[in-house]
Chain A
């Protein structure tokens, strides 16, 4: 039988070179989706194969890797991907945001500010921000080429006409470097402002859709909005029940079947670091009003 033997970080060097070329092109054209010959990975499409390929292509033996899903290091898929690189690359792993050189994420940007030299690798399910407005790739590529984003503004306007608000709460479209409209991957829009002028390199990998895109450090990233309906962040208005943080994105935990619930940081590293230095929350559920944060 053909027993398999795998290279450092799983992918063969030719494949890594091909992915690195795509990454370099993506960095050169911020927000532009670069097609790449995505490989079948040993985890399913839609479970982070794009992010895993990007991480595998940029990872070196000295790197320190952090993997989060929903902001947490402890979710099963984050554990699975961290173990994959622990096994195939033998790199050091961490849960501390500031210690990591490469952070692979699904759906969140860490609360702790990123610094220069770090790379944030996003797992992207649908890279095309216009996909739900126009299903055809041939059409959407043309629209990007011409910078023809009227359709997106009409969609946002129709939201306002129907609901009184832009009814997009995650995967909220942004414009990168005043040129390409980009899907920030399905992060809650709370995280959008963190992408702007970020000192870290942000790479986006979509394995099934075979696209890589990037936001180089200190690039201008603007969430789409209107003068009279400016972009707003959403955060449930409560301190974290575990660490008392008033500025972090919160998970809602249903504690019983009688309406009991509590709110805790979705970023587990942020929450634990705060608890370590003595911050405390109520540790119990209490009803709170919601408010939109500007």
Chain B
């Protein structure tokens, strides 16, 4: 006798209990603290904040811990929490030109006002596994010097003064930037929405798309005009007091790509821009983002759209890893009734096929 499958509720509870147990791992090994994650896995925290669209190191660290180090799962946790938060309004645009720079490099000029600052980077490290790090390693204190007083203007602003690069569109209070988490996205989408989508987009997806554009699928000749990482002030214009109130500072990485120039009979040729911005130190993300941003401007700049990285519907519809992972993984859910329907159809088609091929002599005779 067959008894229909029951007890899903207890199975779910037990599975979640087991998950909590596995998450903890060997209980003789000390538990990870959120501070340890925030301090020592900080680039993972930066990525979760960026793609989770929520600047909160502690919550991002909690999400990483809860997700057992699965960053996409952690991003999902942060996003689901963020969706429930009330909105008070939008901050004033941050001024990255005034950034307290911790790292800043340009690949377009040997020296720039304010200087090239390497800062904390994996660049030029030799990727040799370091056994010293395995246990109890105490690094040297970093070298320090007097804080430089020189301003660090953006390289693109320096180019812009001579009109060598197109100007960035200025903020316009009458046309506030869109928000695809509040308004449904429609195509064609303007650059504000594209940049928002790219900022939230999966780093790996953007990396692959940016890479594809470098390899010739919609090539746009990029130079890393500048990459800077540091703190910027965030201000909020409070209606009650009629002035901008400082809320604090956040760490950002900004990448400005300088790309192939355009020009026409009426316009002098100038370089074009690709832009990347992310929370924390997220260089791979911002560089990829800047490449894809520039690629997606193909329509606006009158270029032929021939490659995936230039196709905004393709890029924007598939860039969100929370959406992508949900839909790919939903294949784990039961599909019994549809599969049954397909089985029925396939069996019928096979039966008809077999019948048609069973009696070839008769068929020939009939012909």
Contact = CB atoms under 8 A, between A and B. Distances in A.
Interface of A: 1-2, 4, 6, 10, 12, 35-42, 44-47, 49, 69-71, 74-80, 83, 106-108, 125, 136-138, 163-165, 167, 169-171, 186-190, 208, 210, 234-236, 241-242, 249-253, 255, 262, 264, 266, 268, 271, 283-284, 290, 292
Contacts, number: 163
A131 to B, nearest CB: 11
A76 B80 contact: no
B4 A264 contact: yes
Contacts of B322: 40, 44-45
A186 B59 CA distance: 37
A167 B102 CA distance: 61
A44 B325 contact: yes
Nearest to B5: A74
A39 B326 CA distance: 14
B316 to A, nearest CB: 10
Considering residues A170, A241, A255, which has the most beta carbons from chain B within 10 angstroms of its beta carbon?
A170
Contacts of A106: 333
A41 B313 contact: no
Contacts of A35: 184-186
B336 interface: yes
Contacts of B59: 1-2
B337 A249 contact: yes
Contact of B329 (A10, A46, A189): A46
B30 interface: no
Contacts of A49: 326
A170 B336 CA distance: 11
B12 A138 contact: no
B8 A37 contact: no
Nearest to A268: B4
Nearest to B187: A138
Given A44-B329, A251-B337, A165 B345 contact: yes
Considering residues B8, B187, B349, which has the most beta carbons from chain A within 10 angstroms of its beta carbon?
B8
Given A107-B335, A241-B2, A266-B336, 20 more contacts: A1-B58, A36-B184, A37-B184, A40-B82, A44-B76, A45-B322, A46-B330, A46-B333, A71-B337, A75-B8, A76-B12, A78-B8, A80-B12, A108-B337, A137-B317, A188-B340, A235-B344, A242-B4, A251-B340, A283-B1
Considering residues B336, B341, B352, which has the most beta carbons from chain A within 10 angstroms of its beta carbon?
B341
A251 B336 contact: yes
A164 B328 CA distance: 32
Nearest to B78: A40
Interface string B74-92: 0010011111101000000
A98 B165 CA distance: 68
A163 B2 CA distance: 36
Interface of B: 1-2, 4-9, 11-12, 56, 58-59, 62, 76, 79-84, 86, 181-188, 313, 317, 322-323, 325-330, 333-338, 340-345, 347-349, 351-352
Contacts of A165: 345, 348-349
Nearest to A7: B84
Nearest to B76: A44
Contact of B313 (A45, A136, A170): A136
A170 B187 contact: no
A290 B322 CA distance: 42
A186 B313 contact: no
A292 B8 contact: no
B83 A40 contact: yes
Contacts of A266: 336-337, 340
Contacts of B7: 74
A185 to B, nearest CB: 10
9 contacts: A6-B84, A45-B326, A125-B330, A137-B186, A210-B184, A235-B344, A264-B2, A271-B4, A284-B2
Given A45-B323, A208-B323, A79 B345 contact: no
A255 B351 CA distance: 23
A163 B6 CA distance: 39
Considering residues B4, B81, B333, B347, which has the most beta carbons from chain A within 10 angstroms of its beta carbon?
B333
Contacts of A76: 8, 11-12
B317 to A, nearest CB: 8
Contact of A41 (B56, B83, B337, B342): B83
B344 A290 contact: yes
Nearest to B86: A12
Nearest to A281: B2
Contacts of B9: 79, 83
A169 B340 CA distance: 9
Nearest to B34: A1
B232 to A, nearest CB: 22
A255 B1 CA distance: 10
A252 B340 contact: yes
Contacts of A235: 344
Contacts of A38: 184
Given A44-B330, A47-B326, A234 B345 contact: yes
A252 B343 contact: yes
B275 to A, nearest CB: 24
Contacts of A242: 2, 4
Given A6-B84, A37-B183, A46-B327, A169 B341 contact: yes
A257 to B, nearest CB: 16
A170 B345 CA distance: 10
Which 7 A-B residue pairings sit nearest by Cβ, starting from the closest? Answer: A45-B326, A46-B330, A44-B326, A35-B184, A169-B341, A46-B327, A188-B341
